[in-house]
Amino acid sequence: MKQWVKDTAGLGTVLWLIGYLASLVLFFSPFAGIMGWILLAVFTPVSLAIAWWWFRKREHLLVQYYAGVGVAWMLIAIVLDYLFIVLLFHATYYGPDVFVYYAVTFLIPVGVGLYLIRTH
């Protein structure tokens, strides 16, 4: 159970925080209008690499485990976005980039898990 908490709440929160801090920097730049797409383009490969590094040496895990991690990461992103973007900054924007981000947040651990299952 302890490892599951690290995999979900720990790594999911760290990955969200990296993107959140980057979004704060981009918010005060000329790229604020497209920052969601920039973050997706930059941090999807970064998150994939971190997830692969995190799970690569683990014992055989089932795809259901990775799907559970994906659901947890997505829920963490939704809740923390609501608390620290919508409530804190009174933001009302939820465009296509945000929904793609939530889908990618779920798919990253699932994709990494499927890759690792096939290569082990």
Domain that holds residue 50: 2-119
Q: What is the pLDDT of residues 45-65, one digit of tens each?
A: 999 999 999 999 998 899 999
pLDDT of the residue at 83: 96
Q: What is the pLDDT of residues 67-92, one digit of tens each?
A: 999 999 999 999 999 999 999 999 88
> What is the count of structural domains for the chain?
1
Tokens describing residue 119: 């290569």
Half-sphere exposure of 33 (CA within 13 A, CB side): 1
- To the nearest 10°, the Cα dihedral for 82, 37, 97, 115? -100
